[in-house]
């Protein structure tokens, strides 16, 4: 007499495979934050400031019009520093639950990523460290910077 296999024996490996696939295909919030920071600074590396501005959070976009942001970035980093491009490295994202962009801002949950940019310009080699924050809300994701005193 042949024994039939329990349907559970067939279903369990399928469920495990599906869950594993979801973990692989859907990046964690930390990975999403890291990806957004890398995309932002890669655009800035290429002097594609229009694209990097688009990755700023709407509150940051309110601080700078697109055209003034583009002009300021070119003026500051290329004209003053005398550097056409840079390399950069990032820290691991660190989740902060009650972060504020300004003293008056409402607290939000963000990921902090410390970005170190290495320049080789007309004044020699130097590093620029920027604390970058990523808000991952589905409606308003984006890059933020700290403006508290």
Where helices occur in the chain by DSSP H, the ranges are: 7-25, 29-45, 49-54, 58-63, 66-73
- Rounded distance between C-alpha atoms, residue 117 and residue 12, angstroms: 48
Q: How many CB atoms lie within 10 A of CB 74?
A: 13
Q: Quick one: pLDDT at residue 135?
A: 97
pLDDT higher than threshold 90 for residue 69: yes
24-68 pLDDT tens trace: 555 588 999 999 999 999 999 998 999 999 999 999 999 999 999
- Rounded distance between C-alpha atoms, residue 143 and residue 53, angstroms: 9
Q: Quick one: pLDDT at residue 103?
A: 94
- Rounded distance between C-alpha atoms, residue 10 and residue 30, angstroms: 34
Helix (H, G, I), strand (E, B) or coil at 3: coil
Prediction pTM value = 0.80
- Rounded distance between C-alpha atoms, residue 28 and residue 59, angstroms: 24
91-102 pLDDT tens trace: 999 999 999 999
**Sorting pLDDT into bands at 50, 70 and 90, what band is 2?**
low
**Domain at 27-144, CATH from 3.40.50.300, 3.10.450.100, 3.50.50.60, 3.40.605.10:** 3.10.450.100
∠141-114-76 over CA atoms, to 5°? Answer: 85
**Sorting pLDDT into bands at 50, 70 and 90, what band is 139?**
confident
| Average pLDDT, integer, range 101-123 | 93
């Amino acid at each position: 007499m042949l024994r039939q296999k329990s349907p559970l024996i067939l279903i369990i490996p399928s469920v495990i495979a599906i869950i594993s696939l979801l973990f692989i295909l859907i990046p964690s919030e930390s990975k999403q934050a890291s990806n957004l920071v890398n995309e932002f600074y890669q655009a800035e590396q290429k002097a594609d400031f229009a694209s990097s501005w688009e990755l700023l959070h709407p509150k940051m976009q309110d601080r700078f019009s697109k055209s003034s942001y583009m002009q300021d970035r070119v003026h500051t980093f290329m004209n003053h520093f005398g550097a056409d491009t840079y390399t950069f490295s990032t820290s691991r994202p660190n989740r902060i639950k009650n972060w504020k962009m300004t003293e008056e801002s409402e607290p939000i949950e963000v990921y902090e990523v410390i970005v170190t940019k290495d320049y080789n310009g007309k004044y020699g080699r130097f590093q620029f460290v920027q604390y970058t924050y990523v808000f991952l809300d589905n409606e308003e994701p984006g890059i933020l910077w700290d403006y508290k005193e």
